[in-house]
């Protein structure tokens, strides 16, 4: 089976059986999504969704967050991973957002990546969800699933991103990110993957080993 055939089969299965897929983070606007994605680094969406409602109530805009102190922000994020760094990143991000972009979350990937706490994955998530850009964010779930299903042999997230974007049509890239991340989160988990529940074992390169 060629890689193109593999992509067509796997993406085709998702398109037919799970046509609707979206982020599990809760947000009402681009500013809130940016905050939530920064907080979600190495942290579950479920945890982030418990943290953000009181955080957004206290800091409803980037302007209010930009004017906050570390001691004001930290109590709201102390239960997420790396709370010290994330509290500082959120404040610095909001300050840059206000000072350089007038409070409007930019659509440009490079502009997003200049912001504290924003790496390529976060920038791609924002560009994809908010601005409908045909990019794929590669986190640990997407990286793992892409390798197991033979969609990429890339050794870095960026290399996997390039492989996925090379083979997935523009109009399917945004939803494909969600298909892969949700599959990795609930079925193709890092430990004890649920192979008996997986509909994609025919294309999984590790199925014989994982299913033992």
Pair of tokens at residue 201: 């074992």
Checking if the pLDDT of 1 tops 90, the result is no
Q: What does the pLDDT average to over 68-83?
A: 97
pLDDT for residue 210 = 56
Q: Looking at the annotation, which residues are catalytic?
A: 121, 139
Do you know the residue count of the chain? 212
Contacts of 71 (CB under 8 A, 6+ apart): none
pLDDT band at 2 (very low <50, low <70, confident <90, very high): confident
pLDDT for residue 133 = 92
**In 3D, which of 119, 142, 156, 157 has the Cα closest to residue 37?**
119
The mean of the pLDDT values for the chain is 94
Checking if the pLDDT of 12 tops 80, the result is yes
Burial label for 168, CB within 10 Å (0-12, 13-18, 19+), is buried
Q: What does the pLDDT average to over 180-184?
A: 95
Checking if the pLDDT of 105 tops 70, the result is yes
pLDDT band at 187 (very low <50, low <70, confident <90, very high): very high
Checking if the pLDDT of 106 tops 70, the result is yes
pLDDT for residue 25 = 95
Count Cβ atoms below 10 Å from residue 122 Cβ, excluding itself: 22
CA 20 distance to own-chain centroid: 16
Query: Among the listed ranges 30-39, 90-99, 200-209, which one has the minimum average pLDDT value?
Result: 200-209
**In 3D, which of 166, 169, 143, 142 has the Cα closest to residue 154?**
143
Residue with tokens 């609930």: 186
Cα separation, 195 vs 212, in Å, equals: 10
pLDDT for residue 207 = 82
Cα separation, 20 vs 74, in Å, equals: 35
Cα separation, 194 vs 180, in Å, equals: 15
Cα separation, 157 vs 119, in Å, equals: 11
Cα separation, 166 vs 157, in Å, equals: 14
3-state secondary structure string across 77-101: HCCCCCHHHHHHHHHHHHHHHHHHH
Count Cβ atoms below 10 Å from residue 154 Cβ, excluding itself: 17
Checking if the pLDDT of 172 tops 70, the result is yes
Cα separation, 25 vs 45, in Å, equals: 6
CA angle 28, 30, 34 (to 5 degrees): 105
pLDDT for residue 209 = 63
């Amino acid at each position: 089976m060629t890689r193109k055939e593999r992509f067509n089969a796997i993406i085709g299965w998702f398109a037919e059986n799970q046509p609707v897929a979206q982020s599990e983070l809760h947000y009402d606007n681009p500013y809130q999504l940016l905050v939530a994605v920064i907080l979600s680094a190495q942290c579950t969406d479920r945890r982030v969704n418990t943290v953000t409602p009181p955080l957004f109530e206290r800091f409803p805009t980037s302007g209010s967050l930009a004017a906050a102190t570390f001691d004001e922000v930290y109590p709201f994020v102390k239960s997420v991973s790396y709370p010290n760094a994330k509290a500082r990143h959120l404040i610095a991000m909001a300050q840059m957002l206000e000072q350089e972009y007038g409070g409007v979350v930019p659509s440009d990937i490079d502009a997003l990546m200049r912001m504290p706490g924003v790496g390529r994955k976060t920038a791609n998530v924002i560009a994809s969800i908010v601005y409908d850009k045909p990019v794929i964010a590669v986190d640990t779930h997407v990286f793992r699933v892409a390798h197991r299903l033979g969609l990429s042999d890339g050794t870095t997230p960026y290399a996997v991103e390039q492989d996925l974007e090379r083979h997935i049509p523009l109009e399917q890239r945004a939803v494909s990110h969600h298909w892969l991340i949700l599959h990795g989160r609930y079925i193709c988990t890092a430990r004890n993957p649920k192979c008996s529940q997986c509909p994609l074992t025919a294309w999984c390169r590790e199925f014989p080993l994982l299913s033992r």
